[in-house]
Structure 1
């Protein structure tokens, strides 16, 4: 059910973001290795920069997951209540 308050009560699927980042990290690593072996330093550098961005994103994701249920709610944490519309 949509309440209209999604921007203020939105939750991020951190576990899904973690696994997608891990998938991207694997591909970026393979890109660096393979482009280096083939002799394409520009593409290898681009994959290296992408690897750095993905690594920073994964650090943020892991930090937020470790912060606990407030930041990464589980099945036992109820959703936020809808905003009060009586104003």
Structure 2
């Protein structure tokens, strides 16, 4: 049986930061390799494109690491239950 959606998914959603981190490591490896290889073979346009990608991946990795270090509010473990959406009382 599939549980019913509550409508609070955007509020209670969690990001897979560890998966994003390792994908960033993979992207960083290829961006650095591409920058170096294209620079060595004399393709400055492609080297610049890979360099820009390198910068974007580095910034993304920095944001991911910052969120991971902020603790369980941003990267909860398996023992932390999903957050309850705030209850709004009629005024």
> TM-score under structure 1 normalisation?
0.89
Q: CA deviation at 1:84?
A: 5.2
SS at match of 2:7: coil
Equivalent in the alignment of 2:14: 11
Q: CA deviation at 1:67?
A: 0.5
Equivalent in the alignment of 2:29: 26
Equivalent in the alignment of 1:55: 58
Q: CA deviation at 1:7?
A: 1.3
Q: How has the CA–CA distance of structure 1 residues 24 and 30 changed in structure 2, closer, same or farther, with 3 Å as cutoff? A: same
Q: Deviations over 1:14-38 (max 9, x none)?
A: 0010000110000000100110111
Selected match of 1:80 from 58, 78, 83:
83
The runs of 4+ residues in structure 1 deviating greater than 3 Å are 82-87
* Structure number, greater radius of gyration: 2
Unmatched segments (≥5 aa) in structure 1: none
Unmatched segments (≥5 aa) in structure 2: none
